[in-house]
Every structure is written in structure tokens, then in C-alpha cells.
Structure 1
């Protein structure tokens, strides 16, 4: 009887121990195989279960204005498949909607993970340089009700990470909500110690911000940034904006 109770206690303890592991620890302990997880998608994210992921505005969701068409893009969940080799992420695949096929040998499914935990741990994997960081960053930004821009800004400022990883962080920073994200991009563009390519990407990301946030920042860069290439980049994106403030700047320059 005592032995049965002990074994039952061990079985009850095992899931709790696995649950207490971070995603990085699970990847390391898996060795070789595939790790799956799912989590809720933020509003405006939908997909067809394959490689197609769409970000839609409020106006694009649901039926059209005439009531004759309805969008069947599935609003989640986000599904992430991590292919692990030697305890490291070799590559990652991100899906929205659909369903998992029956797992093959060597596949561990973590089930549905809280969105905040998923985003934080996926970005931690990316920050740790644990493989396919671009896909990990993308997956994290799709999580529901999570403010990711501070973590994205931290990634973008890490000179030891690959440039592509930091560019991906800057891109999604440009899609984040809030004026604080715009200020973060503005500071990246103005950081004289940063690589030129990353700073130019921050200027592009500013052009993706709402006009009342992005245009004033681009005007400041075009007027006052000491680097000619950044001024040129800011002017280019201002030219695409068709904003009256951009037109006023061009008129001022051409006088």
C-alpha cells in the first residue's frame, strides 16, 4: 500500500515539475524532437491554419459594409512548433488557426499556454540566441493582451544579437500600440552608437506608426539628424505619407 501511494505521489508530482520548467529548459531537456504549444491570439490576428497570417483592422473584421460577405479568417489560436536539435531550437513555425495533426514520435505538446507566459518565454528564447529568433519574435507579438514593446526594444538594443533578429524586433515595435513604442523607435533612430542599418529600419518603422506619432518624429529626423543617410531615409518615408506636415517640410527645404 505504501509503495502504491509513493508511486501515485510521483505521478502527481511529475506534471507539476514539468509545468514549473521554462520553455528554454523544456527545449534543452527535449534534446532532439518537436515541441508544440498554443496560446490565444490578440485581437486583429487571424489565419487559415497554414502559413498565411493576417493582421486585420476593426473595419476588416467580420462582414463587409453591404452584409454580403463574411471573413472566415480564424481568430486563433496561435500555434508554434519548435524543431529542436541538440537541445536548441533549429527552426520554428508559426500558425494561426487550424489544428495540429497527430503527433509523430519525438513530439511533445505543451497544450494551451497562457498568452503572457508564451510571449515572455518565446522572447527569452530569442534573446538567448537559441535559433530562428525571427519566428520566435513574430510568434510572441501575436499573443493576446500582452505588452511586448519593452521586450522588443531591449532585443533591438542588444548589439550581440544577429542584425536580422534586431530588425525583426524593430519591425514589430513599429506595429505595437502606444506612444511609448514610438518614443522607443525615435530613440533607436537617434542612437549614434547603433548600426546604420538598424537605425534606418527604425526610421521605416516610424513611418508605420499612426501619423500623429510617426510624422513629427520623421520631420525631426529629416531636419536635425546629423547623419545624411538617415535624413534621406526620413524624407523618403515622409514623401510616401502624403501628410500636410511632410508637404510643408518639402516646401521649406525647396525655398
Structure 2
């Protein structure tokens, strides 16, 4: 049974995670929160060496942007990856989100046990809720019309697509949903939305006021974008490389917002709780 947990780097999601773990009785070390944020000095131990000695070490999402330092927007001096690898307790269990292949290799070379919590199905499902809410927030603030009565299209009927289409329908949007599987198209119709096959997208795309893409592959290419209404808004929720030809959209004057990492931006407290629950699920499965 582990007793000490270190949360190193990250944003308000990781701070929420640390507070939730402490509330449950764990001894939590916090490192990387000493700039542009106020935390009670008595709330956490914040010594770097203590943090690296913990039984469980939790890294942020993503673990690093530059491959050199731990992603730490609230740190005066972010911990380097080299410092982490050199000082980490060799028997620690390391958690991180979106652990890059080169970092995975470094963990393995140092014989560190690690898990990428961003790959967990339950986290993806729960994260779809703040993602959908954030997408709707953008649509409300960036368009001169109400969601109610708008013609809104959701591309893709995966985790985010399912929740987003339900929310749009609940707000009174004329909700169209694109899917490839016939079973999904039937389910879309069963929920009262309008199903749209991908083969019909080119001819139908000009009907919509707001277009939400959830597919992480190029769907909205130059040919399709040329048919989009000039006053329409496209909100791309797909991870890199996205689902829109951004250069073509700019040339055509089509407005696109690439809305990445919405859970941490629109609902960091809820997102931190989701990460915490996911990590605890993994720990239970491992019997640690």
C-alpha cells in the first residue's frame, strides 16, 4: 500500500488532484506551483527531493512540451526531465498524461514502472463532458445566433460526438450528426437527430451555421470547405493533426477555431477529479 504521492508540474487540474488526494488522507508532495498562484504554505510539502522520493509520482498532461522540462506553467524553475530521471525513487510508480515515445523509452531504460492515464477509456468518456460543454461555450460566444434553432452539425459519433449531439439537441438546435457505421446512423435517428452519411457531406455542408468536428483525420478539405457558408463557424475538437485543412480555410475566409485541451481550460476542477479517479482505478487494478 502506498503512503506518499508527489504531484509534479501541471496546471489547475493537478492542483485539484493533489488536494483531493490529501483530503483522502495521503501524504502529498507538490512541486512546480510557486509562480502566479497562491497556495497556503502549510497545505503541502514542496521540497523537490521529497517529491522525487514518493511512492507514487503523478506528472501532468502532457508530461513535457519541449522534451527537456516537465510541463509546469506555475513553476519559477520547472523540473527538467534529466533531474526527474536522475532523482526519482527507482521503485516509484509514475503516472503521466500523453507520455511521448522518447520519454517512455527513457522510463524503460531506467526500469521505471509507468502508466499513461490519458489512454484510459473511462477518462476519455468522462473528459468528453467538459469538452462538449467547452465547445458549446465557444459556439455561444463566437456566433451572433442562439444555439436554439441553429443548424448544427457534429462530425463523428464517438465519445465526444455522442455527448455533444445530446447537449445541442437539448438546447434546441437542429442537430445533424455524421457517422460512417449504419448502426450509428440508426442510433442517431433513434435519438431524434438527423443522420448524415459522409458521402453526402460535400453537398450538405453549406446548410450549417455551426460545424463541430471530432474526427482526428482530415475531413474538411479544400473541396468541402469551399461549400461552407461564409458566416458559418467551424469548431475543431480533434487532436493533432486535426480534421480541417487550416490553410485552405484561411484562404477561403472560413472561420475555424481549433479548440484543443478544453477539459483543462473550461473545467479544471472537474478534470482534476477525473484524473484522480482514473489513477485510483489503475492503482486498484495493480493491487498497489
Q: Do these two structures clear the TM 0.5 threshold for a shared fold by scoring above it? A: no
Structure number with the higher helix fraction is 1
Instruction: Quickly name the TM-score band, shorter chain normalised.
Output: under 0.3
Output the TM-score relative to the length of structure 2: 0.25
